[in-house]
Amino acid sequence: MIPIELVSVGKRYLRGIWPRHLAHLIHGRKKAQSDWFWALNQVDFTLTEPGKRVGIIGANGSGKTTFLRIISGVTAPTHGTVIVHGRVAPLLEPVAGMQPDLTGRENIFLVGMILGMRRHEVRKKLSVIVEFAGVKEFLDMPLKHYSLGMIMRLGFSIAIHVEADIILVDEAWSIGDAEFQTKSFDRLKALHQRKATILFVSHDLEAIRRQTDEALWLDHGKVASFGPSGEVIDAYQQAVREGRATGISA
């Protein structure tokens, strides 16, 4: 089954704030037109089989985050067709959905369920998640008393234990100490061996070269190149050297 297919997908965002746009609409249409910009434009992207590791590269503002948001379903496309087969786990920002006033345990259930797990699934995985995050002694302490590092580790640990078919990783690698990073890497590897598709956004090109099979290069919201990681990264680095690869130019 094709895990991900995007056909001429476009995503338009409002540049300013919405009430001002509304005011423009009321006062006349001309200004209202320029309020919009295209974060993604005519993007075609197909993964033909599950189990691929794909790196997503490009300058800041080239549409990488929007691309992940479209696949995770956080945002709907403005144009085009999006087909996603499989449970998606976003490892985008590990603190999303967490409640500082709830305890670590309550947060594991809350976030685990928000990410699509059933209550009994979370209960079954509770000890593994806690073990992985290394927060065993603090399980019944409100999250607000955790250190930032502990919160991030916990969030990451919950998300990475969702039995997902498609995993979206957005620069989450810098979390935790060397030991935690090694553990995270091993867990992703295990998921990959179970035929999970992994999309991996990073500015660390060497990490992408080592850890992915294919790479997608986004430039100004369009696909600049998609193919084997080594080739795409070489082309990207060439473009950067020549000053051709830039983000959104206002």
Partner 1 sequence: MNTGPSNRPTVIRTPRHSNRWALELLWTLSIHRVSLRYKETLFGFGWIFLQPIALTIIFNYIHRVARIPTGDIPYPLFAAVGLVVWSLTALTTSQSVVTVAGEVMLLKRIALPRILLPMSAVVSSLADLCVMGLMLVGLFLHYHISISWEVGWIPALFLIHLSLLIGISCLVSLANVFLRDIGHAIPSLLQLWFFASPVFYPSSMVPKEFVFLSRWNPMTGLIEGYRAALLLGKPPPQDLLWPAMIVSLAIMAIGAACFRQMEGSISDIL
Rule CB under 8 A: which residues touch partner 1?
A: 8-10, 12-14, 18-19, 22, 33-34, 36, 38, 41-42, 69, 72-88, 90, 92-93, 95-97, 99, 101-102, 106, 109-110, 113-116, 118-119
Measured from the CB atom, the residue of 111 and 205 that comes closer to partner 1 is 111
Query: Least distance in Å: CB of 57 to partner 1?
Result: 21
Phi-psi region of 40 (alpha: psi -120 to 50; beta: other; left: phi over 0): beta
* CA nearest neighbour of 63 among 37, 81, 98: 37
- Closer by beta carbon to partner 1, 8 or else 237: 8
Shortest Cβ distance from residue 137 to partner 1 (Å)?
Answer: 22
| Cβ nearer to partner 1, comparing 57 with 84 | 84
| Residue 23 or 228 with smaller CB distance to partner 1 | 23
CB atoms under 10 Å from CB of 220, counted, come to 19
Q: Shortest gap between Cβ of 156 and partner 1 (angstroms)?
A: 13
Q: How many Å apart are CA 166 and CA 85, to the nearest integer?
A: 9
* The three-state (H, E, C) secondary structure of 203-241, written as one string: CCHHHHHHHCCEEEEEECCEEEEEEEHHHHHHHHHHHHH
Rounded to a whole number of angstroms, the minimum distance from the CB of residue 87 to partner 1 is: 7
Pull the structure tokens for residue 89: 């786990």
